[in-house]
Amino acid sequence: MSDRQKDALIRWVIFGLGLGLVPVAFAYIARALADVKLAHPIGQGDLFLLSAIVAFSGLGSLFGRGKRGSRLALAVGGIAMIDGLMGALLYASVSNATHSHGGVVLWVSVVMYAVSAVSGGACVVLAEA
């Protein structure tokens, strides 16, 4: 990985992942101080929305950059696109639901966030290739 790619990835991790998690971290800390379980803030689907934001921010850096016709960029970008769309749709579904299974939402959203972090980060690195 070149220095340019490392710099782009570091910026994306700090501003895309790190700052994106501030609202969820704040909600968790605030609720922890009030003795509410972790599943409550994340179990309401907030992480789905952050997954969409992270995936789309990484995907956005890939557009118009990188090597043309790169199968890896196409695959990683496709994964980021699918994850971002699923995150946005699941957030809309869960946030409008009158009842949801907080534990299921918690684990699915954590997995989706991890996928968006990996695919979004890969998009950033490939954009600088």
Assign 37 a pLDDT band (cuts: 50, 70, 90).
low
Cα–Cα nearest to 52, from 28, 83, 13: 83
Cα–Cα distance for residue pair 21/107, rounded to 1 Å = 16
Given a cut of 80, whether residue 39 has pLDDT beyond it is no
Given a cut of 80, whether residue 86 has pLDDT beyond it is yes
Residue whose tokens read 């991790």: 13
List pLDDT tens digits, range 87-128.
Answer: 888 888 887 766 667 677 788 888 888 999 999 888 888 888
Residue whose tokens read 């179990």: 43
Given a cut of 60, whether residue 36 has pLDDT beyond it is no
